[in-house]
Amino acid sequence: MRASGGRSNIGTRRSTGSNPKKLREPTTNHQQEASDDLAKHPSTYGGKARCPKGTFSTNNHRKRQQQRKYKTNIGTWNVTSLNGKEVEVVEEAQKYHLDILGISSTKRKGKGSITLNNGWQLYYSGVDTTTFAQAGVAILVNPRLIDSIIEWKPIDERVVLIRLQLKRTTATIIQIYAPNNEADYSTFLDVVFTTIENVPMTDSIFLIGDFNAHVGSDSQTWDGVIGPNGDQDINNQGKQLLDFCSNSGLSIMNTFFQHKNIHKYTWYKSGGQITQRSLIDFVITSDNIKRKVMDVRVKRGAELSTDHHLVVCIVQLTTNTPKQRTQAKNLCRIKWEALGDAEIKEKFAKTVDQKYSQLPTYEGDSELEWLLFRTAILGAAADTCGVKRIGSTNGQKRTAWWTEEIRKVVNQKKAAYKKWIQQPTSNNWQNYKQIRENVKKVVSEAKTKSWEDFGHQMESNYHTASKVFWQTIRRLRKGGLKQTRSIKNADGELLTSEEDILERWKQYFAELYNPTNNHGNTINQATSGDPNGITLGEVSLAIKSLKSGKAAGIDEIRPEMLKALKDGGIRWLTRICGVVWKSGEAPNDWQTGIVVPIFKKGDQRDCSNYRGITLLSLPGKVFARIIERRCRQIVEPQIQENQCGFRAGRSTVDQIFTLQQTIEKSWEYAKPIYALFIDLEKAYDRVPRNILWNVLKEYGIRNQLLSAIQSLYKNCQSCVRINGSKSDYFQVQVGLRQGCVLSPLLFVIYMDKISRTSASSTCVQIGNVKVDSLLFADDIARLATSENNLQMALNKFDKVCLDYGMKISEKKTEVMMISRDIRQVNLHINNSPLNQVSSFKYLGVQFSSDGRQEGEIDRRIGASSGVLRTLYRSVVTKTELSKKTKIAIFKSVYRPTLIYGHEHWVLTEKLRSRIQAAEMRFLRRISGLTIRDKIRSTNIRESLQVEPLLQHIERSQLRWLGHVIRMPHNRLPYQVFEAKPIGRRPVGRPRTSWRKYMEKLCLERLNLRWPAVQQAATDRIRWKQLLNALIPQPARTRGRR
């Protein structure tokens, strides 16, 4: 507490700062100013607002109507659980013309944003999903203000914040829910203070919510903080709140307006007659906005089965006028899914064949030939499959379980509540209470039925529409994210009109896909003369490789249409590919991409937080696949063994295994490894095409083969598609084509050239095997035995990258020393020091500086727990889903997350126990059991017909062992596995190596010693039979290190 006689200036965040007179407002002047403001702008809702000097109002209806445009209504409400009340709260917000509604005590778990009825957006922050539901805060935003939101921050379960860009100011709304416990109150205020301190100084702050504090009405002592119209009671929490507001330049606005008690008190204790009531829900504002506040009062008519009243603040603020949006687009699309019907498919193919038979024998140019083919395909599909209208809902959403029956009983509840507040008798209270309980029961039953219907639909989709089923699972794992309808420009200003948004996206991706470099992009016409034209067999094979269900490109031709083609249609596409092959001119549609932004994380209004997915023409992809297969035959033997990206018979497991073996064997002989994990900036997008053409010639890709590749780059362009609308086209003159099946191979060739040119003598040597670098496309790990050697290798690699138009990212490139004696490593690029880390995630697996695997296994268990949390309510516990369906999810989603990269694991008994516990955590919940049921894990697995996870891991590790043994001896994983380090081991018990672990595993599980293992593994069929014969292992009683 401070002494009376003025407002403390210590800790004030506002610029009203050094002059106490600025902060201090004598009571009489303040009341007179408030009276003048109210006389000019009377409260529109709920009657007259009164000041101590009297009541001010105006009968000028026209003036009132004019001023209504300049008002913003902000509410706050403790709803004592929002679950099942989402529709009601939206209707109440609409009823009282609210723009913003802060909600306390939501008891909603997690943090996120969801769309409710009529487009209202709920931003919520609660406890973690694994803890008991308590507290919880949220802010409900009117649809017309959603585009004005600059950011929102879920601080914790008691504080949430949003910032809005209004017409003449930026408003920060902070919704809180204070604890009842006095001991926790100061900690809570510290969190609120930190939140306010991080708000820009120019923002107008509205701190609203249930403060669980009595602040009294001593406006003389707390001049400017409270007015004379508060409650008489004051408690310790109230004193802390008053001191907090004083030091922060805040005013509790409820206390500045004179109202009847029924319009002032925000909480009541009921039981027929109201026996107790208090003022604990406040609207608190910063000094720079409080003079704009026109009224704060309770709205008793709002009902939501809570013992708190809705508090509404009317403030003189002008919101941005929503720009006229384009009407929901009535688009048409072909019902391509009808091609799943054999009869329709046959009719479609015959129609295309008939069109093909009418073609002239002479060939036209590629553009004309393509136009005829595209028209025929789309026309035949439209005639045989039909079309349907699709359109946007413009954010309108209806809660699935809300029915007219529920609306009827809810209206009865509200009528009973209204009768009780007008006549607070015991009978009226009991009637209201009885109807309220009935509504709660009806809503609960409706929500249960809705979940049951969802479960039945999921089960049906699993058997009849597997693609839809797995799409739903992916959506449930990712969580509901509403696509934003606004975006920021390069200067951070908010754009809301469709034209501005499309132009911003075009600008962003045009800059992203055209990075500046000093290399030209000219295309020299390749020498012709290759006699091998495109064959019918190549086109058929390429069509078969297309995945069903993939999105169409600019031509709107779906993969199902191409797969439905018969002889005539395939010959027609072969003819077009042949024209392109001979002429070196690809149709414009084949060179045009549609970029669809996909949100990653962070601020949804920042373009840099999205990645672009480019949709290309599928017939163009057929042609590119044919070229890719021809190129691969030429270059595959030339690519180095240290590159495993996009190559047949190689995967991330090869590089993970090689790196782990190198670390393991170097650690065994106490030899340090200096590992540099290099990140290239915009690697795909920076490749200079003129250098790429020369590199391809060096690798043997010449003549018409090179000309065919270049034909896809002559007029390479893209547009951006948002909500069905497309931007203008922009040229893509640098880099490889996003989404093209040919691009990964071209990039691997280019990186192989850079790797060869930058090769150095610095490496890590295991016996006679040298490992200097590992590449998976652009994921690069360079290894050395000393800091100086690694710096030399980095300098050379950086110079070569610059020569080839690539750039190392200094921020994302990191170095790690793997040794028994960790030291500071000082590496730099262009005098910029690189970050040294104790662990690094390479190709999805975490490697640590101590060479251990426990950290990675802990991380995998944590990731699997996250999968269980996201699917728990919607999948795992749903009785409507069969156990067979749940097991499919376990095998396809949960298990791969838990055991990714397990091939090189060395499992101790402790780790085995933890993995088994993570496995049974999912399986027990599928079975509807807990540990208290005391059912053995083996019995649960048998009932679910699931292989023990540890056995699955062992079989997979043995399968990988056989694969390594059968590898050609020039393969790097084989060489490192067989290599024997030179030197002496340090004193002490060594760690169990992967080889020793596998030798023991083969002896225990296959009853084979190492020489017999090597002999058996060379026979793939025999080895497979041995692995299939594995049986569950009995519980272990001995230790394993």
Output the six-digit token pair for 90: 């939206």
Output the six-digit token pair for 1038: 């001995």
Helix axes 743-757, 689-698, angle to 10 degrees: 80
**Beta-carbon count within 10 A of 381 CB:** 26
Give the Cα-Cα-Cα angle 507, 510, 515 (nearest 5 degrees).
125
For the chain (1041 residues), the mean pLDDT of every run of 10, in chain order, is 36 39 36 39 38 40 52 93 88 93 92 86 86 88 87 91 87 94 91 92 94 92 91 90 91 93 87 75 93 93 90 86 49 85 93 92 88 95 86 54 77 83 82 83 78 74 71 69 70 80 92 74 53 89 92 93 95 95 95 91 83 94 97 95 93 96 94 95 91 96 94 94 89 92 96 93 90 94 95 95 93 94 92 94 95 94 89 79 87 92 94 95 90 90 93 96 96 95 88 95 94 94 92 57 37
pLDDT of residue 762: 84
φ/ψ region of 746 (left if φ > 0, alpha if ψ in -120 to 50, else beta) reads alpha
Residue 153, φ and ψ in degrees, nearest 5? -130, 115
Count CA atoms within 13 Å of residue 257 on its CB side. 31
Q: Considering only CA atoms, which of 192, 120, 130 is closest in space to residue 156?
A: 192
**Which strand (E) or helix (H) includes residue 165?**
strand 159-165
Dihedral sign for Cα 785, 786, 791, 793, please: negative
644: Cα separation from own chain's centroid: 28
- The three-state secondary structure class of 811 is coil
**DSSP secondary structure of 674-685:** EEEEE-BTTHHH
Output the six-digit token pair for 834: 């690189």
Torsion of CA 193, 197, 202, 205, to 10 degrees: -20
Strands 293-299 and 310-315, how do they pair? antiparallel
pLDDT of residue 26: 35
φ/ψ region of 298 (left if φ > 0, alpha if ψ in -120 to 50, else beta) reads beta
Give yes or no for a contact between 395 and 119, defined as CB atoms under 8 angstroms apart.
Answer: yes
Q: Considering only CA atoms, which of 822, 832, 767, 766 is closest in space to residue 795?
A: 832
pLDDT of residue 714: 93
Could you tell me which residues are beta bridge partners of residue 612?
A: 597
Q: Considering only CA atoms, which of 672, 991, 663 is closest in space to residue 823?
A: 672
φ/ψ region of 805 (left if φ > 0, alpha if ψ in -120 to 50, else beta) reads left
Give yes or no for a contact between 161 and 613, defined as CB atoms under 8 angstroms apart.
Answer: no
**Beta-carbon count within 10 A of 824 CB:** 7
Give yes or no for a contact between 580 and 586, defined as CB atoms under 8 angstroms apart.
Answer: yes
- The three-state secondary structure class of 719 is strand
How far is 828 from 746, CA to CA, in rounded Å? Answer: 30
Residue type, 48: K
**DSSP secondary structure of 270-331:** -SSS--EEE--EEEEEETTTGGGEEEEEEETT--SSSSB-EEEEEE--PPPPPPPPPPPP-E
Q: Which long-range contacts (CB under 8 A, 24 or more apart) does 648-654 make?
A: 652/776, 652/843, 652/844, 653/901, 653/903, 653/960, 654/971, 654/972, 654/973
Give yes or no for a contact between 156 and 125, defined as CB atoms under 8 angstroms apart.
Answer: yes
pLDDT of residue 35: 39
Q: Considering only CA atoms, which of 861, 865, 852, 789 is closest in space to residue 818?
A: 852
Mean pLDDT of the chain: 85
966: Cα separation from own chain's centroid: 41
Give burial (CB, 10 Å; 0-12/13-18/19+) of 89. Answer: buried
How far is 407 from 90, CA to CA, in rounded Å? Answer: 13
**Beta-carbon count within 10 A of 263 CB:** 18
pLDDT of residue 43: 37
pLDDT of residue 103: 95
Residue 563, φ and ψ in degrees, nearest 5? -70, -25
Give yes or no for a contact between 199 and 285, defined as CB atoms under 8 angstroms apart.
Answer: no
